[in-house]
Chain A
């Protein structure tokens, strides 16, 4: 690949102002599409339009809605019901909320017996189409000053004063302060938005949105609307779910049946960039592990958290001279500052053994590496086995974090370099790409260890572990490049090395994911435990 074409790509994304935006619109199968290659083949100005990766057969269809979409969806659903039955909008909303936004059910039940349904949901009769001549239906509930009114709830009011009051269609009249307090307790105290009833004992008349807005302050009404939108998403049977991204609030629509989860992992990516699983609600991309495997593993790690804490400690002793070494980057290739011994953070074996043709640090073998790990005194084989996988799982999690920390430092340095040298911002973006790739691939690797923990030992599993080892080695190489010092002279060389390594890592991830997900569809993996169904 030439430097020029690559600059075009970066420049285009830069001028398009939002690299993240490009990533947002991406499909989770981004990993399978060679987007870099595609873009380079295109003319530079076409690149401004985000390249939609092809959807693979391993992906699910989904849509991302923002809060305005959610509000307008409710409005159009409400209007449909209004037009069918000639109802007022606020009454249609109350009906829809009662039926959990299941329009079909509402239409069926309402057609059978409108009066009964209106009564059941707390709408006084008189609001149906047949009774539209009724004056009440056309005169909305309003605040009214009444002289000589005493409120039955707060005992306020007297013969000579006039009090601001309100009565719903049922006619139960109370002072407006009491209505306000009532709504505040329901909305802020109890988080209620489906149904707020009249304050009178045994009266089921429901307060409409229009009435609530008259008695509560603006901020409470906003809270009410937020709750109502949340309820719409939660009650909806269409398959809606909030994005778990921090402060996101977007809603994702996706159809997944429980039985799909035995062969499919429905990962969705929100516009905010947050990946999550629609099958098990996990906040992240847990491919290639199935939802059931993910659930088992998360539970196991919680149960064994003490062990987990112990094992994920940030320091280890050098296997040769026993001086304490702190890990300060994602790379697992450790060099002891004192004795210069090179060793592997994960298995504590010689690093030289890893550099040869056969990379076997990912594989749990009872004999090899056992001597080096002896210091970690394990009593039972099962615990040892678990620790093997947990150690690798949590190591990638931690390394991803350290890679990001390292990147933050690098970014500062790149900032400086831009100011003091002829390098442009665009010319140092390759590091960002590399870090993103490493981070994503460490997530994939993490979950391969969770999956491998439950796999039977057979030839299929060995092939799986070969793919895992290849990806892991590629990731560690790239991670190691990230730790190299940046200076103006070496940047061009480092850039080409890092771009090649990044592309290679991506291709290894594609191979692993594609083969493993295909294996799920073919039922090729066998587990030594029953994987729970999430139906």
Chain B
């Protein structure tokens, strides 16, 4: 716990000092260092470019030996997010998580995934199908979703 607090505090200090492109308003939930919230911005040139998505990042007591949990609170039309906003990327999987991984790397991986969905390892198969076989429909639905949920 002491190790976790020290490391997360250091990460928080770093992220507050040096802004990451595509991430804004990072703050603690209820002053709890183990619960972060903020916004992820859709990368330019993607259907998500006009949207900002509320996120939660929750750290376990034994961080960084166990991965934190990332979740989007704003609905998103994307093959690698489930309806609850959970995500599935190798970096955050318990079996492949590495204690040296920095929080900035997590954000970069998520921004990368928004720019390039991975339809081969989907959490939502119908969206993945749409993305692979019906790209124009996919783009339209994703944009509609952004305007409906992610532009305020």
A residues at B contact (CB < 8 Å): 152-156, 177-178, 181-182, 184-185, 189-190, 192, 197, 199-203
Q: B98 touches which one: A155, A190, A199 (CB < 8 A)?
A: A199
A185 with B100: CB separation less than 8 A: no
Measured between beta carbons, the chain B residues less than 8 angstroms from A178 are 3, 65, 99
**Which residues does chain A contribute within 8 Å of B66, judged by CB atoms?**
185, 189
In angstroms, how far is the closest chain B Cβ from the Cβ of A239?
27
Partner of A155, one of B7, B65, B94: B7
Please name 20 pairs of A and B residues whose Cβ atoms are closer than 8 Å in the assembled complex, sorted by A: A153-B7, A153-B99, A154-B6, A156-B3, A177-B3, A178-B3, A178-B99, A181-B62, A181-B65, A182-B65, A184-B62, A185-B65, A185-B66, A189-B62, A189-B94, A190-B94, A199-B100, A200-B98, A200-B100, A201-B98
Instruction: Answer whether residue B101 sits at the interface, using C-beta atoms and an 8 A cutoff.
Output: yes
Q: Is the CB of A181 within 8 A of B94?
A: no
- In contact, B95 and A192 (Cβ under 8 angstroms): yes
CB distance from A140 to the nearest CB of B (A): 23
- A192–B95 Cα distance when bound, in Å, is 9
- Bitwise interface map of B from 1 to 41 toward A, beta carbon under 8 Å scored 1, else 0: 00100110010000000000000000000000000000000
- Shortest Cβ distance from A228 into chain B, in angstroms? 17
Closest Cβ neighbor of B101 among chain A residues: A201
Contact A184 B65 (CB under 8 A): yes
The 5 closest A-B pairs by CB, nearest first: A185-B65, A201-B98, A199-B99, A181-B65, A154-B3
Taking Cβ atoms with an 8 Å cutoff, the residues of B that contact A are 3, 6-7, 10, 62, 64-66, 94-95, 98-101, 105
Write the nearest CB–CB distance from A392 to chain B, whole angstroms: 47
Q: Given A153-B7, A154-B7, output 4 extra A-B contacts at Cβ < 8 Å.
A: A155-B7, A156-B3, A156-B6, A201-B100
Does A155 contact B99, Cβ atoms closer than 8 Å?
Answer: no
Decide if B99 touches A182 in the complex (CB within 8 Å). yes
CA distance A197 to B65 in the complex (A): 12
* Residues of the B chain whose Cβ atoms lie less than 8 Å from the Cβ of A189: 62, 65-66, 94
User: Smallest Cβ distance from A10 to chain B, in angstroms?
Assistant: 57
| Complex-state Cα separation, A192 to B98, whole angstroms | 15
Set of chain A residues within 8 Å of B94, measured between Cβ atoms: 189-190
**Docked pose: A462 CA to B121 CA in angstroms:** 56
* B95: A residues at CB distance < 8 A: 190, 192
Is A153's CB under 8 angstroms from B64's CB?
yes
Q: How far is the CA of A190 from the CA of B62 in the complex (A)?
A: 13
CA distance A200 to B99 in the complex (A): 7
Return chain A residues, CB-CB under 8 Å to B99: 153, 178, 182, 199
B65: chain A residues at CB < 8 Å are 178, 181-182, 184-185, 189
Contacts of A181 in B (CB 8 A): 3, 62, 65
Q: How far is the CB of A40 from chain B (nearest CB, A)?
A: 61
Chain A residue at smallest Cβ distance from B66: A185
Residues of B within 8 A of A177 (CB): 3
Complex alpha-carbon distance, A185 and B95, angstroms: 11
Most buried by B among A155, A185, A202: A185
Complex Cα–Cα for A181 and B101 (A): 15
Most buried by A among B7, B66, B99: B99
Q: Which residues of the other chain, A, contact B3 by a CB distance below 8 angstroms?
A: 154, 156, 177-178, 181
Interfacial chain B residues near A154, Cβ < 8 Å: 3, 6-7
Is A152 touching B62 in the complex (CB atoms < 8 A)? no
Write out the residue numbers on chain A whose beta carbons fall within 8 Å of the beta carbon of B10.
Answer: 155
Roughly how many angstroms separate A153 CA and B7 CA in the complex, as a whole number?
Answer: 7
A contact residues around B6 at 8 Å (CB): 154-156
Q: Which residues of B contact A201 (CB under 8 A)?
A: 98, 100-101, 105
Given known A-B contacts A154-B7, A155-B6, A155-B10, A185 and B98 have beta carbons under 8 A apart: no
Q: How far is the CA of A146 from the CA of B6 in the complex (A)?
A: 21
Structural contact, A153 and B62, CB atoms closer than 8 A: no
Complex CA distance for A287 and B147, rounded to whole angstroms: 65
Closest residue on chain B to residue A153 by CB atoms? B99
Closest chain B CB from A206 CB (angstroms): 14
Interface centre among A184, A192, A199 (most CB of B within 10 A): A199
CA A299 – CA B99 in complex, angstroms? Answer: 45
B-side contacts of A152, CB under 8 Å: 100
Closest residue of B by beta carbon distance from A201: B98
CB distance from A217 to the nearest CB of B (A): 15
A154, A155, A189, A192: residue with the most chain B Cβ atoms closer than 10 Å? A154
Please measure, in the bound complex, the distance between the C-alpha atom of A199 and the C-alpha atom of B66, giving whole angstroms.
11
A181 to B60, CA, bound (A): 13
A200 CB, nearest partner CB in chain B, Å: 5
- Which residue of the partner chain B has the closest CB to A195? B95
**CB-defined contacts of B100 to chain A, threshold 8 Å:** 152-153, 199-201
Q: How far, in Å, is B13 (CB) from chain A's closest CB?
A: 11
Give Cα distance in the complex from A201 to B101, angstroms: 6
B64: which A residues are within 8 A, CB to CB? 153
A156 to B66, CA, bound (A): 19
